[in-house]
Amino acid sequence: MLKYAMIGGGPSAFVGKVHRHALALNGHAKLVAGCFSRDLEKTRQLGAQLELAEDRLYATPEELSRLEAGDIDFAVVVTSNEAHYSNVKTCLENGIHVMCDKPFTHTSAQAEELVELARHKGLHLGVSYTYAGYPMVRQMREMIARGDIGAVRFINCEYPQGWLAELLETTGHMQAEWRTDPVRSGGTLSLGDVGSHIEYLVPHVTSLKVTRLAARLDSLVEGRLLDDNGTILTEYDSGARGMYWYSQAATGSVNGLKIRIFGETGGLEWFQENPEILHHMPLGKPTRTLRRGSPDLMPGAMAYSHTPAGHPEGWLLAFANIYTSFCETLIHGQAVDFPTGDDGLRGVRFMEACLESSKQDTAWISME
């Protein structure tokens, strides 16, 4: 079993617990060390709950990476956005493989530096774009690659949430406070938090590359400093077109990630809140409903499926699938499909282009 350390994910943090649960489900790695908080006492408090040795609980990420190098197999970085760059860098400098939460870094220059450092050190660097771990997303990807819907013509992807439909950042809400702080979040709110998932998912499923975009980023909630809603027009290297919408001010929405791909001979549709189902709409024929776990799915989708059809799987198992691919890469020494630092770099460049477009009144920005 691999051994890992966690940086961030303290007692009151949401995402750190999710990563730990996913790795427990994954079954390939055991948590042995941590620097869970800037407050050493909070790190010790959580470490005791997780039954970690006290001498493997650290005051700083630098201390952890220096003293744990050579013993742990990888580190998981789940701090708030502003600390991703420095924490990933110190791990890589000490020869430690890293899985980092998204968005990867504040700037593309930072992301480029980390990708090059990992390459120079011969280390694996992952970014936790969770939704690629769903079996029916893998099915969608393999069907498009096989030509089941012909050449892609149009892509529509959306991710509405409603938890920031009010000005929560003024109420002491911890998750809202740091996300809406321009310094800590990196100059974006919802674009980095949920729009980044759309950016990763579309090329992952279609293998297409965005060549230019036009974005409008809005702050719908009065008094908010950063974007809580955005619409983005996209063009791809194949000539296909697309439209993205993300929001965290979509009142009443929960986690409505949906992707629709329309090709010359058919379409595909998947909805994250009903992840067991993929709709295939072949040209001139009735819509087919494909179910996770059914025996006629593609090999990649079957490999990501863990329970019989009709026994629903969910977000944590999708997360675990990402870690399975990452851990198998470390175990076997050859790359297995997982979101990489290069994907994270592309995502940061995408966000920078969206910000520039919106500042220029939704001007078209080249991504080439």
Residue 321 belongs to some domain of the structure: no
| Cβ neighbours for 367, distance < 8 A, ≥ 6 positions apart | 209, 210, 211, 212, 213, 349, 350, 353
What does pTM read for this prediction?
A: 0.95
Do 346 and 291 fall within a single domain?
A: yes
Residue where one domain finishes, among candidates 105, 127, 149: 127
- Please measure the distance between the N-terminal and C-terminal CA atoms of the chain and give it in whole angstroms: 42
Q: Kindly give the confidence (pLDDT) of every residue in the chain, 368 residues in length, as a single tens digit, with 9 standing for 90 and above.
A: 999 999 999 998 889 999 999 999 989 999 999 999 999 999 999 999 999 999 999 999 999 999 999 999 999 999 999 999 999 999 999 999 999 999 999 999 999 999 999 999 999 999 999 999 999 999 999 999 999 999 999 999 999 999 999 999 999 998 899 999 999 988 999 999 999 999 999 999 999 999 999 999 999 999 999 999 999 999 999 999 999 999 999 999 999 999 999 999 999 999 999 999 999 999 999 999 999 999 889 999 999 999 999 999 999 999 999 999 999 999 998 777 899 999 999 999 999 999 999 999 999 999 98
Give CA–CA dist 276/301, Å, rounded. 11
Q: Give the other-Cβ count within 10 Å of 269's Cβ.
A: 17
Q: For the chain, what is the domain count?
A: 2
Residue where one domain finishes, among candidates 101, 127, 153: 127
DSSP string, 41-84: HHHHHHHHHTT--GGGB-SSHHHHHHHHTTT-SEEEEES-GGGH
Instruction: Give the pairing of strands 210-218 and 277-282.
Output: unpaired
Residue 320 belongs to some domain of the structure: no
Instruction: State the CATH number of the domain containing residue 161.
Output: 3.30.360.10
Domain containing 14: what range? 2-127
Q: How many distinct helices (H) and strands (E) make up the chain?
A: 13, 14
Q: Is the peptide bond prior to 203 cis by the omega test (within 30 degrees of 0)?
A: no
Residue 368 belongs to some domain of the structure: no
Give CA–CA dist 256/246, Å, rounded. 9
Do 346 and 268 fall within a single domain?
A: yes
